[in-house]
Amino acid sequence: MKEQLEKIYECANSEIEKAQSIAELEEVKGKYLSRKGEFNEIKKNLKNLPDDEKRVVGSLANEITQKLESSIKTRFEAFYQKELNEKLMKDKIDITLPGKFIPQGHVHPLTSTTNEIVSILQSLGFSVVPSEFSPEVETEYYNFDMLNVPKDHPARDVQDTFYTTIAKNVVLRSQTSGAQIHAMEGQKPPIRVIAPGRVYRNENINARKNNFFHQIEGLYVDKDITFGDLKGVLNEFIRIYFGASRPTRFRSSFFPFTEPSAEIDVQCIMCEGKGCKICSGTGWLEILGAGMVDPNVLKGVGIDPDVYTGFAFGMGVERLAMLKYAIDDIRLFFNNDERFLNQF
Ligand code: DAH
């Protein structure tokens, strides 16, 4: 029986060594060491042996079992280690390799121009209105009626303004001026606000016109506000935005919601006043509209025009960006050509 044990031990040992995988090793383990394994069969027969032999064979069987268990364990560990090493090698990353280049985006020139204009006006004491004062989908009431725009004014025509199908009288705003009304309804003077935002017009698109663009509206209402204040604020704004050396002029004009009204020009940045194609030979470029808030508009929102006066202005962001950066086609802002955008 001792020999039988030793023979089985040798067989088991050589099978352990030959095993090429964890699965094969499991098989060997099952064959020899499980409950139905060969050693257990022998152990079952021990009881038939005489006592002294039983002890010798019994302890030999235990010793052999332990040895086999330990060599199986050693091989198991070797296999695990090998598998782990292979996995680590497969997943290995070379941290010295240069990373993938991920191009970084940057702020669109219209956004940076808006931010610049807004921060200049903020430095002059204006605050941006809350967004609910400046909706892009607007009623005719705010976009036209309350701004003193007559019912038969051509700007109301569908050829100029986009009407929605949401309800009769609901338009895509054609100007940010409606924000003036919201601001005056929402607070008492003194009011000193700006409203940047997108506006829509039913235009044929060309180098100068797009069917949407951006404006920044300004409004200052308080006691004793004069045209002199308007000139002071706008001249200061232009001086900061275009640089101190750029001459400006105020030209008399008309807007339904201001009286008197003015258009403000800066000297042409291309020809410096000599006259060129950009300024149509005039030497001047129009950059914004402005005026003293019409008493009718103040009355409409319940502000007494005998107590309060105010000025308003509106400027086109695209136009101001085009003039500053000598951009000759408004469509460049909207077609996302990186060759254009990367210059900013
Ligand atoms: N809303 C005018 C436009 O879109 C611009 C404008 C002119 C705004 C005079 C004003 C203003 O606030 O006082 O053409």
CATH code, 202: 3.30.930.10
Is residue 216 lining ligand 1, measured as CB closer than 6 Å?
no
In a domain, 98, yes or no: no
Q: What's the gap in Å between 258 CA and the centre of ligand 1? A: 9
Last residue of a domain, one of 34, 61, 90: 90
Query: Which is higher by pLDDT, 39 or 229?
Result: 229
* Number of domains composing the chain: 2
Which pTM value belongs to this model?
A: 0.73
Last residue of a domain, one of 57, 90, 123: 90
| Domain containing residue 63 | 2-90
In a domain, 96, yes or no: no
In a domain, 54, yes or no: yes
Atom nearest to 315 CA in ligand 1: 5
Q: Are residues 312 and 260 in the same domain?
A: yes
- Find the angle CA(319)-CA(322)-CA(325) to the nearest 5 degrees: 145
Q: What is the structure's pLDDT at 3?
A: 83
Q: What is the structure's pLDDT at 164?
A: 96
Atom nearest to 258 CA in ligand 1: 13
pLDDT digits (tens, 9 = 90+) for 259-301: 999 999 999 888 889 998 878 899 998 999 999 999 999 999 9
pLDDT at 32 over 80: yes
Is residue 241 lining ligand 1, measured as CB closer than 6 Å?
no
Arithmetic mean of pLDDT, 169-183: 97
Query: Residue 46's pLDDT band (boundaries 50, 70, 90)?
Result: confident
- For the chain, what is the mean pLDDT? 92
Q: What's the gap in Å between 332 CA and the centre of ligand 1? A: 24
